[in-house]
């Protein structure tokens, strides 16, 4: 069986877009409306000759309390089932309470956690990623899943961690 990379984070940060970028196909559903990914769906990825499964997550509840509960739950499941977890944040929004909630769970993870700051579409936007050091995880990786900026470095890190 192949090792699993779980992509977690709050709705609309670009998890499904990142999954599509990683697998090189547009199979994960990307929506402007938050909460579209129904549950956990896995796809096969390949990078530098390493095969792995990448798992998109979602299934968000709409009210704030339910939302916090469901993202924490997804993080818990990832900690129990994945080999590497990628927590995705939105560089255009910055750190939110939802990010804090999931980071709090992931800080006690025995499974390695990689922090990705998405929607950093230009070099000028790089600075926005720095505030994500504040989540108390490892170094934030600035990237743009939509444009492919920085995703190679993230994939290098993922396969080096697997
Ligand atoms: P998810 O809910 O976390 O799975 O997020 P989606 O992948 O469905 O994306 C949510 C929205 O963010 C969509 O409108 C995407 O087009 C947009 N998006 C995703 N990645 C990027 C990015 O790198 N840059 C920008 N500007 N928008 C992005
Ligand atoms: Mg999604």
Q: Please give the pLDDT value at position 55.
A: 93
Q: Please give the pLDDT value at position 73.
A: 85
Closest atom, ligand 1, to C-alpha of 32? 14
Structure tokens, 133: 């050091």
Assess contact for 126 and 120: CB atoms under 8 A.
yes
Binding residues: 9-16, 56-60, 118-121
Residues 6+ apart with CB under 8 A from 9: 15, 71, 87, 88, 89, 99, 102
Residues with CB under 5 A from ligand 2 (ion): 15-16, 37, 58
ipTM of this predicted structure: 0.99
Q: Please give the pLDDT value at position 72.
A: 82
Element (H, E) at 60: none
Pocket test residue of 20, 21, 30 for ligand 1, highest count of atoms within 8 A of CB: 30
DSSP label of 35? T
Q: Please give the pLDDT value at position 128.
A: 87
Q: Mind giving me the DSSP string for 91-154?
A: TTT---HHHHHHHHHHTT-SS-EEEEEE---SGGGHHHHHGGGGGSSS-EEE-BTTTTBTHHHH
18 Cα–ligand 1 center, Å: 8
Closest atom, ligand 1, to C-alpha of 31? 8
Q: Please give the pLDDT value at position 31.
A: 64
Closest atom, ligand 1, to C-alpha of 29? 8
Assess contact for 141 and 14: CB atoms under 8 A.
no
Residue nearest to atom 14 of ligand 1 (CA): 32
> Mean pLDDT, 10 residues at a time, over the chain (162 residues)?
94 94 83 58 93 86 76 88 96 95 94 98 91 96 97 98 96
Residue nearest to atom 24 of ligand 1 (CA): 119
Q: Please give the pLDDT value at position 91.
A: 97
Domains in the chain (CATH in brackets) are 4-161 (3.40.50.300)
Is pTM, for the whole model, over 0.90?
yes
């Amino acid at each position: 069986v192949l090792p699993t990379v779980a992509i977690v984070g709050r709705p609309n940060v670009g998890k499904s877009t990142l999954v599509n970028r990683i697998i090189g196909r547009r199979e994960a559903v990307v929506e402007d409306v938050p909460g579209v990914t129904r549950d956990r769906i896995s796809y096969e990825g390949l990078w530098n000759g390493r095969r792995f499964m990448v798992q998109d997550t979602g299934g968000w509840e709409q009210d704030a309390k339910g939302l916090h509960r469901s993202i924490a739950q997804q993080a818990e499941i990832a900690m129990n089932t994945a080999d590497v977890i990628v927590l995705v944040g939105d560089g255009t929004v910055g750190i939110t309470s939802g990010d804090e909630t999931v980071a709090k769970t992931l800080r006690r993870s025995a499974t390695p956690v990689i922090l990705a700051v998405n929607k950093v579409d230009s070099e000028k936007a790089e600075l926005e990623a720095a505030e994500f050091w504040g989540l108390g995880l490892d170094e934030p990786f600035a990237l743009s899943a939509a444009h492919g900026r920085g995703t190679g470095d993230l994939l290098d890190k993922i396969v080096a961690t697997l």
